Structures are given as structure tokens and as C-alpha cells.
Amino acid sequence: MIKFFMDRSKARNKRRMEKLAYEKEKENYENKMNFFTNVAHEIKTPLTLIKGPMENIMDQIDEVPSIKGSVELMSRNTDRLMHLANQLLDFRKIEMDGFSLNFIRTNISALLCEQYIRFKTYAEQRKIDMSFNYVENLYASADEEAVNKIFNNLMDNAIKYADTKVAIELSYISNEKSNYKLIVANDGFIIPDESREIIFESFHRIQKTATLQEQE
């Protein structure tokens, strides 16, 4: 009988501890979400203040042709950051409703060109020769934001870990034009065969590339 009451007491204490742990985890999650949302708001405010003067400069950019390209690039990146800040503010809604891809007819060529323009100056600053070959008006059913993030990640890493050059090529796989391929290549460090699967794990970084990052 004593053992029965002791076991029941232990089970009750275990349930109480599990409930307390759950409540604490929930509280920590809410605190993180609030912090996350507040930071997103803080990011968006200076971006809004930058965007106003930027639009004023864009209205007068034809008067100073020598800086037109740089200012247009700044404007594109400001718009991109604003879009990402809005996505951060929508994070709660995504958490509640779930994340789903929205597949629509998308001009892959235009998205890739936009990313190439954004990264071209970055490549020039790092003295990287960046070539770009593509077929125009290549359309596919895709989630535009997801594709943009993939292109962004590929180009960023290609330039970051290149020695002297990066080559980007968008083409159809066959004459039927039902499938296409994107190749982003550089002349930098080659990922070992044994690491080609685990590089897709979150926050994973190969030791040599991590060392290269620390040296910058």
C-alpha cells in the first residue's frame, strides 16, 4: 500500500514538473517571438527613413549619370530589405497558419537577372570576375520568394568562396523547354564528396570554409 501511494505521488510530481517545464518553454518562446517582432519593427523604421530620401534621389538621378547605377542598386537592395522586414513581421501568422509554397507562373530569367544585378557590384569589390549567360523569358511554376532566396544564397556563397571567378548559366535541359537547369560555379574550394549531403543541414559549415570566413 505504501509503495502504491509513493508511486502515485511520484507520478503526480512528474506530471507537475512536466507542466511547469511546458509552461516555461511556452513563456520563453513567447519572449523570443516578442523580441523577434520588436527587432523586425526596429529594422523596418530606419529602412523607411532611408527609402524616402532614396526616392527623392531617384527622381533627380538623371542629372548625375555617373552615380545612376550605384543609386539604382542601393534602391533595389533597400526594397529587398523592406520586403524581408515585412516577412519577419508576418512570422507569427506563418507560425499559426503554417507555411506553404505558392506556385505561380514565374519569370525565372527576370528573377535571376535581378539577383545578378544586385550581386555584380559585390563581386567587383572582391575582384571576382562574374559571367552570366541565360535564356530570356524562361517561365516555370514556382514560388517567387522561395526561388529568390535560393538564387540569393547560391550567388552569395559562390562569390564569397571564389578565388577569381564565378559563372552563372540558366538554360533549358531539352528542346521541349519543359525543364531547365541553373548552374552556379566558381573556382574556389571544392566541397569533398563526403560532405555534399550534410552541407544542407541547418548552420552546418565545412571546416575550411569556416576558416576562410574567420580570415576575412
Look at the alpha carbons of 17, 20, 22, 24 in this order and tell me if their dihedral is positive or negative. Answer: negative
- Mean pLDDT score across all residues of the chain: 80
Cα dist. 106→83, 86, 134, 157 in Å? 18, 21, 15, 24
Alpha-carbon span 167 to 177, nearest angstrom: 22
Q: Do residues 163 and 188 make contact, with C-beta atoms less than 8 angstroms apart? A: yes
For residue 54, give every residue at least 6 positions away whose Cβ sits within 8 Å of its Cβ, in sequence order, or none: 71, 74, 75, 78
pTM confidence score: 0.58
Indicate the pLDDT class of residue 214, thresholds 50, 70 and 90.
Answer: very low
Task: Render pLDDT for 22-79 as a digit per residue (tens, 0 to 9).
Answer: 777 777 777 777 777 777 777 777 777 787 787 888 888 887 788 888 888 888 888 8
